[in-house]
A = this chain, B = another copy of it.
Amino acid sequence: MTIKLLDLFEILAAEFPAARLVGNADVLIHDLAPLEGAGPQTLSFLSHPKYSQNLAASKAGCVVVGRQAEQLAVQRGTCIVVDDPYHYFARVTQIWKKLQQSGQASSIHATACIDPSSKIGADVSVGAFTCIGPNAVIADGVNVGAHCVIGENASVGAYSRLAARVTVGDGCSMGEGCVVHSGVVIGADGFGFAPHDGRWVKIEQLGGVRIGNDVEIGANTCVDRGALQDTVIEDGVKLDNLIQIGHNVRIGAHSALAGCVGVAGSANIGAHCTIGGGAVVLGHLTLADHVHISAASVVTRSILKAGNYTGLFPIDDNTAWEKNAATLKQLHALRDRLKQVEKQLVQTLSSKEEKS
């Protein structure tokens, strides 16, 4: 794809009134790339002043920069100066993708299996072999990929995009503008069993899943249906790949969870939280708003105060790790020995004082 820089700039002009284009507005842009790999038809960006060296050396046709890098950028060549270059560039990627895809008409594939009782909105696309169940509601502008299975009474809000091979279980709902990637399973049964005589008696999971607007869900992530009430993912939540969300979890608005996170049943996560990759949140815990959990940490108690929390064993070469790990298993005993030493020392000192 090729677009004149000025045309791209003008698409975003209303949204970023303070943005300024300095230099050659006629340069033709044919790709977006980082500063290092950029060529004379590349639009690039400087997200952080610490990469200024890369800026000076870059051959990009145009670079999006913040005000503090303006002087350097102007010396180098064509640039767009904005308050938040990372935000601006994010919007550029969206425009870029939209332009690439323009001309793709919406269509319902002939092989799709759509129950006649379902309601399909205007400008909806449905891919090959996708099944849409009885009384499901697919709102205007939704794009459902191939091989999806959308259950009875499920609903998908306007302009949401489902990639290929997504499952939306019976009675589960999703808001507007959501993006759901391949392999996602929404509304499988939560893990609920009553122990009885050494066996597990299944508790049928009768709740659903309610997903807000502008939620993104990464590939092969699972969001289980609630036991009796619903599992809830609020507006603007971003879930990466291979995440497990247990039954009756609630995730507050605009929280973001990185890949491989596990959230056990009935955990209540606040708004604007972030959880690093591979972290685990145990069941029935509460996290306040603006709690940030580091990657691979295990949340074993409720965290009611905003802030950054971590719990992971530092990595080391095997020899050092082995020594420290072995000692760790005697840590409590070491503490007792230290106490003992302190006591003896106090006695020694006091007996000395007595003597002197």
Contacts and interface: CB of A to CB of B under 8 A. Distances in A.
Nearest to A100: B206
Contacts of A254: 198-200
Nearest to A236: B199
A90 interface: yes
Contacts of A326: 314, 332
A149 B167 contact: no
Contacts of A87: 194, 196, 201
A74 interface: no
B295 A296 contact: no
A136 interface: no
A147 to B, nearest CB: 6
A300 interface: yes
A122 interface: no
A258 B191 contact: yes
B256 A183 contact: no
Contact of A244 (B147, B193, B241, B299): B241
22 contacts: A34-B228, A89-B203, A90-B196, A90-B201, A109-B113, A147-B147, A163-B188, A164-B167, A165-B165, A183-B220, A188-B241, A189-B216, A199-B214, A259-B264, A260-B280, A295-B298, A295-B300, A308-B317, A309-B316, A314-B325, A326-B332, A328-B328
Given A146-B149, A324-B332, A344-B345, 4 more contacts: A94-B204, A200-B254, A310-B317, A323-B331
